[in-house]
Homo-oligomer: A and B are copies of this chain.
Amino acid sequence: MPGLLERYRAYLPLTPQTPLLSLSEGSTPLISAPRLSAHLGVDLHLKYEGLNPTGSFKDRGMVVAVAKAAEAGADTVICASTGNTSAAAAAYASRAGLKCIVLIPDGNIALGKLAQAVAYGAQIVAVRGNFDEALGLVREISAERPIALVNSVNPHRLQGQKTAAFEIVDELGAAPDILALPVGNAGNISAYWMGFREYRSAGQTDTLPRMWGFQASGAAPLARGLDRVEQPETLATAIRIGSPASAHLARAAVQESGGLFDHVSDDEIMAAYHLVAREGVFCEPASAAPVAGLLKLHAEGRLPSGQRVVAVLTGNGLKDPGSAMRAVQAPAAVDATMDAVLASLA
């Protein structure tokens, strides 16, 4: 499969001068979920974004943002991030021959989470301040220097992310009835809605999905109708965001599509995470939020049966193996005999 810039060139803000940057991002599988479908009474498919090159949906937006930065003559990109964004930025910058600077808030350094960015050759700077201060700094630096900002305020990010909607329509032959996805910074739900609408305008689908956005209960400003949550808390770190940057666009997507926001507890997220794994798909905890949401709405009698539903799994479970191990104890050793092994399984 060609990369996204080549596959969806006609729908992206490219010029003849834009380098066709690619790490074979996109074209991720849409995997049926037979057991969850039977339980929920719907036809559920999982859009497994964890099989993007750096393991998350962020690659879709970053390939566009970095290609446009290269086109504009930048020799460096910069972002504030401690997670998936930094991995994607570092990978595409390295591929394009650009430098990459990642600012992280001091005191909140999970070195393991930066393993990818480091491997791809990013320069990591820890600043004495919180995430908002780090983001303010990268905005300031990008305004004053020939350094391209690739945080989600960069509009090319959503342009790239909308391609996932195209792929779903291309594979199903039409838009699903419901598109369920995790909501943190709220960029992705906005990008999908943009993608579905553009594809309808282009005659690729007659219908549009209802957009169902699920937040973690401890970080649910949109689902609770708040402007912001001051101290967001959830083990689904990828959606632990109190003040979504794209809140306005996300509210429009839900309203225009006749969709909804709801929130799910960490326990509900982890239960869904294990059910998704039993379908054979290993995702990040945040990715399980839409499945948790579907289970919750089903239990409340609010999930219409017979619908075709796509749940977006935004990241690979390998990004956060600790979550898989948290509930596990080291197995007690048994003697190296068949009887002992079989007895331990009884």
Contacts and interface: CB of A to CB of B under 8 A. Distances in A.
- Among all A-B residue pairs, the 5 with the closest Cβ atoms: A24-B29, A95-B280, A129-B336, A115-B321, A106-B333
A282 B338 contact: no
A170 B250 CA distance: 42
A95 B331 contact: no
Interface of A: 1, 23-24, 27, 29, 31, 48, 51, 53-55, 91-92, 94-95, 101, 103-104, 106-107, 109, 111-112, 114-116, 118-121, 123-129, 133-134, 137, 140-141, 144-145, 273-274, 277-282, 316-319, 321-322, 324-325, 328, 330-338, 340-342, 344-345
A296 B344 CA distance: 48
Contacts of A121: 274, 277-278
A338 B125 CA distance: 12
A85 to B, nearest CB: 15
Contacts of A118: 324-325, 328
Given A120-B277, A127-B341, 4 more contacts: A109-B330, A115-B324, A116-B324, A120-B282
A50 to B, nearest CB: 9
Contacts of A141: 338, 341-342
Contact of A116 (B115, B125, B317): B317
A98 B324 CA distance: 20
A341 B325 CA distance: 37
Nearest to A121: B278
B336 A280 contact: no
Given A144-B338, A318-B318, A330-B109, A281 B125 contact: no
Contact of A279 (B95, B274, B279): B95
Contact of A281 (B23, B317, B337): B23
B92 A280 contact: yes
Q: Which of A95, A114, A333, A344 has the most CB of B within 10 A?
A: A333
B54 A336 contact: no
7 contacts: A23-B31, A24-B51, A109-B331, A119-B324, A120-B282, A126-B333, A141-B338
